[in-house]
Amino acid sequence: MQEFKSTEHQHVRYNPLKDEWVLVSPHRCLRPWSGQTEAEPEEQPPDPMNPLLPGATRSSGQRNPQYTSTYVFPNDFPALLERVPEPPPSEHPLFRSSAAKGTCRVMCFHPDSTMTIPLMTVDEILAVINEWINQLTELGRKYTWVQIFENKGAIMGCSNPHPHCQIWASSYLPNEPRVKERCQKEYYIKFKRPMLVDYVQQELINKDRIVIQNTEWVALVPYWAVWPYETMVLPVNGKPQRLTDLNDNQKRDLADIMKKLNIKYDNLFKCSFPYSMGFHGAPTGPSKTASDSPHWLLHAIYLPPLLRSATVKKFMVGYEMLAQSQRDLTPEQAAQKLRECDDVHYKNKK
Ligand code: H2U
């Protein structure tokens, strides 16, 4: 029998954050591709009618101010509202419902529609981070979960190329953070240390999955990554539970590593790299205090869909929908490819 090689031989890996397994099948990278390709993402000329522009009138009839940095407004088509009637108590355990209240906001990162995080300056990204912290401070007083997320690229269903994110605050803990809450708590009770603090320590020793690092943060392809070039950005110093816990050095270095990681992403397939990204930290709400969730470690997650090129994405369909997630290249191979990408954005190369 041959010796096991993770780059050649299929295996399953465990994700302790979500209590899930992923099938890693690196030999599938050799498969020729004759399936669907996406249209080459085109550089669209900026739309003068773009409702996210400074001074534009939005669908609601409201006019945006002539903003020069970030700008937050209530989503004109919110999935969550603050004042709605509650469903009646469930009468059967198989038909449960519960109240869901909340609010949705849109946050523009920059007045220029052609800007993206990798093209912005560190100071401009820092302004975005500071506004995320303001939003989390305000909404976190009232709501159990504040999900900050950026959908980037038409392939991810993003409706507008203007640099922006969304903020959905809810009275309930959504599924993804609910599982992470349980798993990190169980680990903390068992080992008396935060799971992700232990995890970062191991990754810093191992180094195989690290893409980029600065004084305060590390960006890595997690051991259990599902999407081909999925990454996590984790703090290397202290144990911030939420964005609101970050000190000035951590904020600036977060801006720095976000820029550098996104330059590598864009350089990988020479395109504005699509993804959904967001932050996960300890739950919030009126009963929460600054240090009440020692089992949590704040982290950012990037979930990009591309697999082979700017036009060939990973399809999470058949086996993934019916059995469990499967990936092709190994997380270590993905990290190496990202590490090898240039640190200068291809658009800024002479
Ligand atoms: P994406 O991040 O998926 O592109 O969504 C943009 C959001 O902006 C979307 O949720 C909101 C949409 O409801 N929007 C407004 O609130 N007002 C507008 O005039 C345009 C878009």
- How big is the CA angle at 154 (ends 151 and 159), to the nearest 5 degrees? 70
From 81, 159, 164, 272, the mutation candidate for ligand 1 (largest count of ligand atoms within 8 A of CB) is: 159
User: Span 65-70, mean pLDDT?
Assistant: 98
Nearest CA to ligand 1 atom 1: 158
In which band, very low, low, confident or very high, does the pLDDT at 27 lie, cut at 50, 70 and 90? confident
pLDDT at position 2 is 87
C-alpha angle 118-147-266 in degrees, rounded to nearest 5: 20
Q: Which atom of ligand 1 is found nearest the CA of 77?
A: 13
- Helix (H/G/I), strand (E/B), else coil: 102: strand
User: Cα 25–274–172 angle (5° rounding)?
Assistant: 90
58 Cβ inside 6 Å of ligand 1: yes
Atom 3, ligand 1: which residue's CA is nearest? 158
Determine what percent of the chain is predicted with pLDDT higher than 90. Answer: 88
In degrees, rounded to 5, the angle at the alpha carbon of residue 219 between the alpha carbons of residues 152 and 155 is 20
In angstroms, the CA 224 to CA 330 distance is 9
**133 HSE (CA, 13 A, CB side):** 21
Question: Measured from the CA of 157, which atom of ligand 1 is nearest?
Answer: 3
Residue nearest to atom 11 of ligand 1 (CA): 75
Confidence grade of residue 42 (pLDDT, cut at 50, 70, 90): low
75 pocket-lining for ligand 1 (C-beta < 6 Å): yes
Mean pLDDT of 257-284: 97
Longest CA–CA separation in the chain, Å: 69
| Residue from 57, 59, 105 whose mutation best tests the ligand 1 pocket (most atoms within 8 A of CB) | 59
Q: Which atom of ligand 1 is nearest to the CA of 164?
A: 2
User: Is residue 160 in contact with ligand 1, taking CB distance under 6 Å?
Assistant: yes
| pLDDT score of 316 | 93
Radius of gyration of the chain (CA): 21
Q: What is the mean pLDDT of residues 118-147?
A: 98
Report whether pLDDT(48) > 90: no
**Catalytic positions, written as ranges:** 164
With a 6 A CB cut-off, is 62 part of the ligand 1 pocket? Answer: no
Query: Nearest C-alpha to atom 7 of ligand 1 is from which residue?
Result: 106
Helix or strand run (H / E) with residue 105: strand 102-108
Q: What is the CA(265)–ligand 1 centre distance, in A?
A: 25
pLDDT band (50, 70, 90) for residue 287:
confident
Q: How far is the CA of 88 from the centre of ligand 1 (A)?
A: 31
In the chain, the N- to C-terminal Cα span, in Å, equals 52
pLDDT, tens digit, 9 for 90 and up, residues 169-185: 999 999 999 999 999 99
CB 61 less than 6 A from any atom of ligand 1: no
Domains annotated on the chain, with CATH: 71-82+98-170 (3.30.428.10), 179-342 (3.30.428.10)
Spatial contact of 70 and 108, defined as CB atoms under 8 Å apart = yes
The reply to whether ligand 1 has any atom less than 6 angstroms from the CB of 175 is: no
Which protein residue has the closest C-alpha to ligand 1 atom 17?
A: 76
Cα–chain-centroid distance for residue 2?
Answer: 38
Which of 72, 105, 106 to probe ligand 1 with, by most ligand atoms within 8 A of CB? 106
pLDDT surpasses 70 at 32: no
Q: Cβ(169)–Cβ(103) under 8 Å?
A: yes
Q: pLDDT tens digit string along 291-334? A: 789 999 999 999 999 999 999 999 999 999 999 999 999 999 99
Q: What is the pTM of this model?
A: 0.95
Q: Is 50 a pocket residue for ligand 1 (Cβ < 6 Å)?
A: no
CA of 273 to the centre of ligand 1 (A): 20
CA 64 / ligand 1 centre spacing (Å): 13
